[in-house]
């Protein structure tokens, strides 16, 4: 079986972090996010993967190559212009002659894909959606289901737009199994949406659409607040991120290539990534993530923050509740809290960001 991963969007909600990179290569615990989905597929025995690209395709190809370093075999379907989730699948149809798995490129989950495929096959469905129940579906939209009279898989019967106020219900986690019959409902040309056009059309045509209940972890990393929350959840062990080491007795994951001064203080849960440097009297954590080649100088403090590669925190500076893009710089004695800064940002010495209310 093959898999398709949809990563064609411009990731506007994650800007400024995604001005120069697609979500697929945004780091999660200092590793490209897409590696989490490769691992899910590999566990299910799926290694033939097609990446559907529209925005910044060269960066994705430069990061992942042929996929061999990540245990998969990659092919690329590059759209001439953004075609939406439906159009992206349609653009890859020449590579998909049998049932296939399809994943949204911004969904972090521990979904059992073997079980998802099993639900699809036992239902004899044209389409199967992985669903999970949430207390507030307003950021996502609701999927209506009905139990099978024969006691088999539930059927999807309706789709609703995002509720205007908090409402509990079932939502799609962006993981599907599709039969090639899905192409009957995707326009030959132009953009289309799986969620808003294609899937409702399949249901309206009376084709069997089954629902697979996912009881495990799910998060959409598409906005900074959820991106930060995904890091906290991973550090708390709510989801395992492939390729990341085990924490030490203090709850801190320290890469074997990192350099930590004996007089630095590490508070878990946190991560000190590859070739990061933590100097004398610096304090890291809790919930700090230092990416590759990050430097935290003497007496500096970093807590509840995500620092991307090559960022430097100068002497006696303090960073809290922030996300800093690649090669950012926080000057000596500066104070930074609750901010999201893009690549190569600079906070001048002794500055305070944001400005205090008093």
CATH code of the domain in which 272 resides: 2.160.10.10
Asked if 101 contacts 109 with a C-beta cutoff of 8 angstroms, the reply is: no
Verify that 184 and 307 share a domain, yes or no. no
246 falls within a domain: no
Q: What CATH code is carried by the domain that includes residue 24?
A: 3.90.550.10
Residue 358 within any structural domain of the chain = no
Q: Edge to edge, what strands does the sheet with 301-303 contain?
A: 265-266, 283-284, 301-303, 318-320, 335-337, 352-353
Among candidates 183, 229, 216, which has minimal Cα distance to 202?
183
Q: Which pair of structure tokens corresponds to residue 274?
A: 């590859």
CA 238-240-246 angle, 5° bins: 105
Kindly state the average pLDDT of the residues 244-260: 87
- How do residues 14-67 score in pLDDT, each as one tens digit? 778 877 777 788 898 988 889 999 999 999 999 999 999 887 788 888 899 999
In the predicted model, is pLDDT for residue 140 greater than 60?
yes
Segment 156-166, tens digit of pLDDT? 888 888 777 78
pTM: 0.87
Q: Let me know: does 292 contact 310? Beta carbons within 8 Å.
A: yes
Query: What separation in angstroms does the CA of 66 have from each of 83, 88, 106?
Result: 24, 20, 21
112 and 165 belong to one structural domain:
yes
Residues 230 and 263 both lie in one domain: no
Q: Is residue 303 part of a domain?
A: yes
pLDDT band at 358 (very low <50, low <70, confident <90, very high): very low
Q: Does the structure show a pLDDT above 80 at 355?
A: no
| Number of compact structural domains in the chain | 2
Q: Would you state the structure tokens that stand for residue 34, as one six-digit string?
A: 């897409």
- Chosen domain end from 235, 266, 281: 235
Residues 27 and 140 in one domain: yes
The answer as to whether 240 is a domain residue is no
Judge whether 53 and 76 are in contact, CB under 8 Å. yes
Half-sphere exposure (Cβ direction) of 280: Cα atoms closer than 13 Å:
0
Could you tell me if residue 320 is inside a domain? yes
Whole-number Å distance between alpha carbons of 339 and 345: 11
Instruction: List phi, psi (to 5°) of 283.
Output: -125, 125
Are residues 258 and 200 located together in one domain of the fold?
Answer: no
Q: Tokens 């212009």 label which residue?
A: 81
Cβ-contact 60, 67 below 8 angstroms: no
On whether both 228 and 329 belong to a single domain, the answer is no
Is 177 found in the same domain as 286?
Answer: no
254 within 8 A of 269, measured Cβ to Cβ:
no
In percent, how much of the chain has pLDDT > 90?
Answer: 62
Q: Is residue 201 part of a domain?
A: yes
Residues 227 and 294 in one domain: no
Q: pLDDT tier at 318 (50, 70, 90 boundaries)?
A: very high
**With the C-alpha atoms ordered 3, 5, 6, 8, is the resulting torsion angle positive or negative?**
negative
For residue 107, the model assigns a pLDDT of 87
Please give the angle made by the CA atoms of 61, 37 and 47, to the nearest 5 degrees: 75
SS3 label, residue 298: coil
- Rounded to a whole number, what is the distance in angstroms from the first to the last CA of the chain? 60
pLDDT digits (tens, 9 = 90+) for 95-123: 999 999 999 988 899 999 999 999 999 88
Please state, in angstroms and rounded to a whole number, the distance separating the CA atoms of residues 79 and 298.
48
State the DSSP string of 190-250: S---IIIIIHHHHHHTT--EEEEE--S-EEE-SSHHHHHHHHHHHHTTSSPPTT-----TT
Q: Is the pLDDT of residue 79 over 90?
A: no
Task: Give all strands (DSSP E) within 64-208, no chain letters.
Answer: 73-78, 100-104, 107-109, 127-134, 142-146, 154-160, 169-178
Q: Which residue has the tokens 């440097």?
A: 277
The number of residues in the chain equals: 358
Residues 148, 285, single domain; the answer is no
Q: Are residues 33 and 139 in the same domain?
A: yes
Q: Is residue 244 part of a domain?
A: no
User: Residue 325 is part of which domain span?
Assistant: 252-353
Q: Same domain, yes or no, for 319 and 229?
A: no
Does 242 fall in a domain?
A: no
Model confidence at 2: pLDDT above 70: yes
Statement to judge: residues 141 and 262 lie in one domain: no
Which of the listed residues 174, 209, 235 is the one where a domain comes to its end?
235
């Amino acid at each position: 079986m093959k898999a398709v991963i949809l990563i064609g969007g411009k990731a506007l909600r994650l800007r400024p972090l995604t001005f120069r990179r697609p979500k697929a290569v945004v780091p999660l615990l200092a590793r490209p996010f897409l590696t989490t989905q490769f691992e899910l597929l590999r566990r299910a025995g799926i290694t033939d993967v097609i990446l559907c690209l529209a925005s910044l395709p060269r960066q994705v190809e430069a990061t992942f190559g042929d996929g061999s370093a990540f245990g998969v075999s990659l092919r690329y379907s590059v759209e001439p212009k953004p075609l939406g989730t439906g159009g992206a699948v349609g653009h890859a149809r020449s590579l998909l002659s049998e049932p296939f798995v399809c994943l949204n490129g911004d969904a972090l989950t521990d979904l059992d894909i073997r079980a998802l495929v099993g639900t699809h096959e036992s239902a004899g469905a044209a389409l199967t959606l992985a669903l999970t129940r949430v207390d507030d579906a307003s950021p996502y939209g609701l999927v209506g289901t009905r139990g099978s009279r024969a006691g088999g898989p539930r059927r999807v019967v309706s789709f609703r737009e995002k509720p205007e106020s908090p409402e509990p219900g079932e939502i799609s986690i962006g993981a599907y199994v599709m039969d090639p019959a899905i192409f009957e409902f995707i326009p030959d040309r132009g953009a289309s949406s799986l969620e808003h056009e294609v899937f409702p059309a399949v249901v309206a045509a009376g084709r069997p659409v089954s629902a697979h209940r996912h009881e495990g972890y799910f998060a959409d990393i598409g906005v900074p607040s959820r991106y930060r929350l995904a890091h906290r959840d991973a550090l708390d062990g709510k989801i395992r991120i492939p390729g990341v080491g085990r924490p030490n007795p203090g709850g801190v994951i320290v890469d074997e290539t990192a350099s930590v001064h004996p007089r630095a203080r590490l508070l878990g849960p946190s991560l000190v990534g590859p070739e990061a440097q933590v100097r004398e009297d610096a304090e890291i954590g809790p919930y700090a993530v230092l990416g590759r080649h990050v430097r935290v100088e003497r007496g500096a403090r970093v807590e509840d923050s995500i620092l991307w590669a090559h960022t430097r925190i100068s002497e006696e500076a303090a960073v809290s509740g922030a996300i800093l893009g690649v090669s950012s710089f926080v000057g000596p004695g500066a104070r930074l809290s609750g901010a999201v800064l893009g690549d190569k940002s600079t906070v001048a010495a002794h500055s305070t960001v944001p400005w205090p209310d008093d």
